[in-house]
Amino acid sequence: MPTPKKQDWRDRLHEIIYEADTPEGKLFDVILLIAIIASIILVMLESIKHIDQRWHSVLDAGEWIITILFSLEYIARIICVRKPMKYVTSFYGVIDLLSTIPKYLSLIIAGTHALVALRALRLLRVFRILKLARFLGASNYLINALKASRAKILVFLFAVMILAVIFGTIMYLVEGEENGFSNIPKSVYWCIVTLTTVGFGDIAPVTPLGQFIATIIMILGYGIIAVPTGIVASEYTSQTNSSKGQKPNDAALNPMSSVQLNSQSCPNCLADNHKDGAEYCYNCGYKLSND
Amino acid sequence: MPTPKKQDWRDRLHEIIYEADTPEGKLFDVILLIAIIASIILVMLESIKHIDQRWHSVLDAGEWIITILFSLEYIARIICVRKPMKYVTSFYGVIDLLSTIPKYLSLIIAGTHALVALRALRLLRVFRILKLARFLGASNYLINALKASRAKILVFLFAVMILAVIFGTIMYLVEGEENGFSNIPKSVYWCIVTLTTVGFGDIAPVTPLGQFIATIIMILGYGIIAVPTGIVASEYTSQTNSSKGQKPNDAALNPMSSVQLNSQSCPNCLADNHKDGAEYCYNCGYKLSND
Amino acid sequence: MPTPKKQDWRDRLHEIIYEADTPEGKLFDVILLIAIIASIILVMLESIKHIDQRWHSVLDAGEWIITILFSLEYIARIICVRKPMKYVTSFYGVIDLLSTIPKYLSLIIAGTHALVALRALRLLRVFRILKLARFLGASNYLINALKASRAKILVFLFAVMILAVIFGTIMYLVEGEENGFSNIPKSVYWCIVTLTTVGFGDIAPVTPLGQFIATIIMILGYGIIAVPTGIVASEYTSQTNSSKGQKPNDAALNPMSSVQLNSQSCPNCLADNHKDGAEYCYNCGYKLSND
Amino acid sequence: MPTPKKQDWRDRLHEIIYEADTPEGKLFDVILLIAIIASIILVMLESIKHIDQRWHSVLDAGEWIITILFSLEYIARIICVRKPMKYVTSFYGVIDLLSTIPKYLSLIIAGTHALVALRALRLLRVFRILKLARFLGASNYLINALKASRAKILVFLFAVMILAVIFGTIMYLVEGEENGFSNIPKSVYWCIVTLTTVGFGDIAPVTPLGQFIATIIMILGYGIIAVPTGIVASEYTSQTNSSKGQKPNDAALNPMSSVQLNSQSCPNCLADNHKDGAEYCYNCGYKLSND
């Protein structure tokens, strides 16, 4: 970071909101985290009838405070980004909007209030906030292991789905409507409930043949549960091993653990995880402010 | 592939239907895949009462289109294979027939219509189609690991079955008919539901002694679940390791990953997974068409 | 095996019944296996009311044939062993007796007939029969892995039990009798049902606090399930590795896989797994008949 | 241990109560263990109505004996420690008090008797007693593996909680009060029941959309169960391997397995796990009595 540059207030705001390396940036993230959790708790309390009846005005006031705070944050985010449309149409942009609009809509149209609960989706931002702090440190191997085994687990889930459709259809034919297997989708749902060893028991086979097939499904599910576990365990072990036996020139294998990343995100295109000391965004070439 | 040979239309049809290396072959597989999935969705929609009542004629028309397509495919498969009886009596041959016949039968005999759902078994062909494309690439280790641990998992499942019979019998004696354990097979079924940690709750022990024995069964099941997972994880790790440390002369250990296989199947005996450049079928010695 | 010795009929009978190396011994084991499975199926069919009512006389006749066969086998086992009391008081001796007596008793006292189901315990002998054949081959590592992790799994189960008692007591205080947690043992039973992720649902928390504590128990159970799996997987991997890297002088580590054992058991003390070519029983010093 | 020192009776009592290296100390621990287990069984029996009604006076007498024993132990513990307040305010000090007080209170105020069940928390002391004996020997690796993977498992549980809140909120919106998802906390509770594959079935989705989302949650839970297992298995393997390949100068990696610890705890500050031959407490510098 050789020559510090003069920043206008939008760059500064961008740094506070989108990055976590400066004290102000960290403080903003902590406050945002608390606000998100508080908003979730408010929504939860409001959903409990007898609490809502007694404390309705308090909860409603809290809702409005949170909603206005989130609205201000949303506006600030739009102002300080170079390409606002990119943020507005991004995943987090849509969620941020969805977590404020229902409350305003509830003034005009009754019944949309329940959608306030969609605010829970903002919790996903917690991953983003934490990712930049201890998340990367603690679970780097884990994420790599999951990425490495993603294709295999997808193939595996695909096989489970096919099994569920086939056995679900067979159970529908065997048990029939009178025993709760009222149509094939419901029967497939039951089959997944069984294969995953959840077993609600809202639907359960009644005929001896149905119970026999259920036994086969359960034992299959029992054997199948071993597969993703084995894959993840194995990939995780190899991730750990490869990093332990890592020589300097093996760094390319595990770039995240050997290269220092910082939490700033490009003011232009919102790409993050820039390398420390990077002068330009790796994604759009926009000049980054390193000071 | 030194000298290309002239093919008659049956050889060409065989190549399209049974192989996936030519563009036409791939296109055929994709269309077949879509048709199978469409037929499953049709059967599912039909099984939902209120949808069937409103859209019966549309769904029925769709059924007939699918049935006729599958019939044509079935006939084409018989025509272009040298030994049609081999296909007709093969596993996929029987399923292909079973997925068309019930619809025709429903014209003559009422009530057989439900068997259309057997068409779901055609989904198994998806494994065959995908096996030849990305399946082999993504989950080669997985299949080898499962094959390597097959014997052990079978021995293990066998032990689970014996435990289930013994504990099922004991629970039948302890709980008796009045608590839902109305006969030994049902009691064994309950025991497998418990050992696999599915736990529907349609039957549950009521007496203190029964609940105590159930506790033992659950803890056993809990400990037992570790075994197949451990086996698969371990085999999978050793599969991955052995291929990483693989030298050229170790190829014999993992033939599938070091030898190029293609998707063509012998027009005579339907054996597939021929080596690239193979001139004769490894199974029946029939001359393969390499062009 | 230098000089074959003359055997009297008791030694011969002993070889047939207790060993599996001669053709006659194998045949005896196969017949015994079939008889045991047939007896289990008979007991199962008898426990199903409507089958028992229609086929009572046939099933009863079958029962008597099986009972007499087992009685003859029991007598033969006593005759051909040098120390009959050792067999009679052994685990298998008691089971063999228990599987015949109830049928005879049912002639004198009514109601003891249900105990015939105890015959299912004879299935345990299957382990003994199979152990000598393919069991040793296929699951040697598995048994060693389980033995190696036995102490750890016991400590682990002990910890699970303490957790269950503590959380069970807390749930009893929180939920109380009116919600099904009618006493502490039942509450502990519910706690184990939850910790093992079986979840019958016959008892379920109703109060918000109870549901919150249940959540903690479930997540604990979820994390805990990882532990025995990890132990077995790890032990199994190290078993496999140690045998792969085994040099000739490492044989002592895995004696079972490098020393040939045979299936004969000492006519005097019933100890089995003698080394091939052993002249005397390793347990009691009795001269073995090697021919 | 060069020069044995004269001990006053308080030091001797301290040695008996807080340590397990002398025969008296071991005997005390065994008696304490038996008393704790007996007290748990008493509380359990008392909670079963029909047993309590018949044997009330016997159980009550037993309760009083246990309570007085525990009170005496509590007083002895206070007397022989240099800083009694430290013990009284410590975790075990509070539990030890809580396990005696309710019984005395029951003389004055009715209804507090149920709190006697809190005595079950004393079972936690079993960990402390056993830790010093075979626990350290058998499950040292296990504890290290759990410690090493603690951060990752916490991050993982955190991710599970966020998923549960998001999906719980969605299910509340989709299913609504009429299907049992009466408020968001209850819906989150259901979501954790499903993600952990417990599946009580006290609440179950009824609408097709709800069942479809439940399917996604179950498959997620199924895939997720692989993660902690993989982590623990991998950490456990690396713990075992690092100790097997351990050279003398690698001792620092596994201090617990290479340094002899003894069971004495400092009479001043109660810190335990002192190294053998340590002259002063590593925590407060108090002179330890090594004789």
Chain D residues with CB-CB distance to A181 below 8 A: none
Provide the pLDDT confidence category of residue D13 given band limits of 50, 70 and 90: confident
C:D CB pairs within 8 Å: 131
Chain mean position to CA D280: 28
Q: Is residue A120 a contact partner of residue D165, using CB atoms and an 8 Å limit?
A: yes
Residue of C nearest to D199 (CA): C199
Q: Is the pLDDT of residue C291 over 50?
A: no
Provide the pLDDT confidence category of residue C194 given band limits of 50, 70 and 90: very high
Chains contacting D (3+ CB pairs below 8 angstroms):
A, B, C
Residue of B nearest to A221 (CA): B196
In the prediction, which pLDDT does A117 show? 74
B197 half-sphere exposure, CB direction, 13 A CA radius: 29
- Taking the C-alpha atoms of residue B258 and residue C159, their distance in angstroms, rounded to an integer, is 48
> Do the chains contact at D152 and A138, CB–CB below 8 Å?
yes
Chain A residues with CB within 8 Å of chain C CB: 197-201, 229-230, 233
**What is the average pLDDT value for chain C, to the nearest integer?**
76
In the prediction, which pLDDT does A140 show? 62
Q: Which of A216-220, C79-83, D273-277 has the highest mean pLDDT?
A: A216-220
Q: Rounded mean pLDDT of A214-227?
A: 83
In the prediction, which pLDDT does C252 show? 36
Burial class of residue D114, CB neighbours in 10 A (0-12, 13-18, 19+): middle
Provide the pLDDT confidence category of residue D258 given band limits of 50, 70 and 90: very low
D199 → closest Cβ in A114, A123, A199: A199
C159 half-sphere exposure, CB direction, 13 A CA radius: 20
In the prediction, which pLDDT does C214 show? 94
Q: Which residues of A60-74 are buried (b: 16+ CB within 10 A; e: fewer)?
A: bebbeebbebbbebb
C262 half-sphere exposure, CB direction, 13 A CA radius: 21
A:C CB pairs within 8 Å: 11
Chain B residues with CB-CB distance to C241 below 8 A: 238
Q: Which of B251-260, C66-75, C241-250 has the highest mean pLDDT?
A: C66-75
In the prediction, which pLDDT does B3 show? 44
Task: Quote the minimal CA–CA distance from C136 to chain B in Å.
Answer: 11
Residue with tokens 């001990």, as numbered in its chain:
D7
Chain B residues with CB-CB distance to C141 below 8 A: 152
A66 half-sphere exposure, CB direction, 13 A CA radius: 29
Q: C258 or A240, which is more confident?
A: A240
Q: Rounded mean pLDDT of B270-291?
A: 58
> Do the chains contact at C235 and B238, CB–CB below 8 Å?
no
Q: pLDDT of B146-189, one tens digit each?
A: 677 776 777 777 778 888 988 998 899 899 888 889 888 999 99
Chain B residues with CB within 8 Å of chain C CB: 151-152, 155-156, 159, 162, 165-166, 168-170, 172-173, 182-185, 188, 194, 197-201, 204, 208, 211-212, 214-215, 218-219, 221-223, 225-227, 229-231, 233-234, 237-238
Residue of C nearest to D224 (CA): C222
Please indicate whether the domains covering C9-131 and C143-243 agree at the CATH topology level: no
Asked if the interface predicted TM-score (ipTM) of this complex is over 0.85, the answer is: no
In the prediction, which pLDDT does D194 show? 92
In the prediction, which pLDDT does B209 show? 93
In the prediction, which pLDDT does D279 show? 61
Q: pLDDT of C73-95, one tens digit each?
A: 999 988 888 888 888 888 888 88
Q: D253 or C145, which is more confident?
A: C145
> Do the chains contact at C201 and A201, CB–CB below 8 Å?
yes
Chain D residues with CB-CB distance to C152 below 8 A: 138-139, 141-142
Task: Quote the minimal CA–CA distance from D139 to chain A in Å.
Answer: 21
> Do the chains contact at A138 and D156, CB–CB below 8 Å?
no
Q: Is the pLDDT of residue A277 over 60?
A: no
Q: B64 or D16, which is more confident?
A: B64
Q: pLDDT of B84-99, one tens digit each?
A: 888 888 888 888 888 8
Q: pLDDT of A108-144, one tens digit each?
A: 877 666 677 778 788 777 766 665 445 445 556 666 7
Q: Rounded mean pLDDT of C33-38?
A: 88
Q: Rounded mean pLDDT of A94-114?
A: 81
- Nearest C-alpha neighbor of A269 from the set A251, A287, A254, A290: A287
- Nearest C-alpha neighbor of A146 from the set D220, B230, B238, D216: D220
Chain C residues with CB-CB distance to D48 below 8 A: 183-185
DSSP at A274: P
Q: Is residue B82 a contact partner of residue B13, using CB atoms and an 8 Å limit?
A: no
Which of A33, A236, A239 best probes binding to D when mutated, by most D CB atoms within 10 angstroms?
A236
What stretches of A109-245 show up as alpha helix (H) in DSSP?
Answer: 124-130, 136-138, 140-148, 150-175, 184-195, 208-224, 226-244
Q: Rounded mean pLDDT of C190-194?
A: 93
Q: Is the pLDDT of residue C106 over 90?
A: no
Task: Quote the minimal CA–CA distance from B197 to chain D in Å.
Answer: 8
Q: Is the pLDDT of residue A257 over 50?
A: no
Domain boundaries, given as residue ranges, for chain C: 9-131, 143-243
Chain B residues with CB-CB distance to C160 below 8 A: 219, 222
In the prediction, which pLDDT does C279 show? 60
- Nearest C-alpha neighbor of D266 from the set D289, D239, D238, D243: D289
In the prediction, which pLDDT does C253 show? 36
> Do the chains contact at B201 and D197, CB–CB below 8 Å?
no
> Do the chains contact at D166 and A40, CB–CB below 8 Å?
no
Chain C residues with CB-CB distance to A199 below 8 A: 198-199
In the prediction, which pLDDT does C173 show? 87
CATH 3.40.50.300 for domain C143-243: no
In the prediction, which pLDDT does C187 show? 92
Q: Rounded mean pLDDT of B37-43?
A: 89
Q: Is the pLDDT of residue D79 over 90?
A: no
Q: Residues near D133 by Cβ (< 8 Å), separated by ≥ 6?
A: D20, D263
Chain D residues with CB-CB distance to C219 below 8 A: 157, 160, 192, 196
Residue of D nearest to A187 (CA): D211
Q: Rounded mean pLDDT of D206-216?
A: 92
Task: Quote the minimal CA–CA distance from A39 to chain C in Å.
Answer: 20
In the prediction, which pLDDT does C191 show? 93
Residue of A nearest to D232 (CA): A233
Tell which CATH architecture fits domain C9-131. Answer: Up-down Bundle (1.20)
Q: Rounded mean pLDDT of A34-44?
A: 89
For residue C114, list its beta bridge partners: none
Q: Which residues of D236-253 are buried (b: 16+ CB within 10 A; e: fewer)?
A: bbbbbeebeeeeeeeeee
For residue C81, list its beta bridge partners: none
Provide the pLDDT confidence category of residue B130 given band limits of 50, 70 and 90: low
Q: D218 or D268, which is more confident?
A: D218
In the prediction, which pLDDT does A228 show? 75
Q: Which of B160-164, C104-108, C255-259, D40-44 has the lowest mean pLDDT?
A: C255-259
Q: C243 or B158, which is more confident?
A: B158
Provide the pLDDT confidence category of residue B270 given band limits of 50, 70 and 90: low
**What is the average pLDDT value for chain A, to the nearest integer?**
76
In the prediction, which pLDDT does A253 show? 36
Structure tokens at B174: 């302890």
D202 → closest Cβ in C166, C204, C221: C204
Chain A residues with CB-CB distance to D185 below 8 A: 44, 47-48
Chain B residues with CB-CB distance to A226 below 8 A: 153, 228-229, 231-233
Q: Is residue B191 a contact partner of residue B204, using CB atoms and an 8 Å limit?
A: no
In the prediction, which pLDDT does D163 show? 86
In the prediction, which pLDDT does A71 show? 92
> Do the chains contact at A201 and C200, CB–CB below 8 Å?
yes
Task: Quote the minimal CA–CA distance from A275 to chain D in Å.
Answer: 24
> Do the chains contact at A231 and B142, CB–CB below 8 Å?
yes
In the prediction, which pLDDT does D187 show? 92
At A193 the three-state DSSP class reads: helix
In the prediction, which pLDDT does D245 show? 46
> Do the chains contact at C138 and B151, CB–CB below 8 Å?
yes
**What is the average pLDDT value for chain B, to the nearest integer?**
76
- Taking the C-alpha atoms of residue B15 and residue B22, their distance in angstroms, rounded to an integer, is 8
Q: Is the pLDDT of residue D251 over 50?
A: no
For A199: left if phi > 0, alpha if psi spans -120 to 50, otherwise beta; the answer is left
> Do the chains contact at A197 and B198, CB–CB below 8 Å?
yes
Q: Is the pLDDT of residue B5 over 80?
A: no
A192 → closest Cβ in D201, D219, D230: D219
Q: Is the pLDDT of residue D127 over 80?
A: no
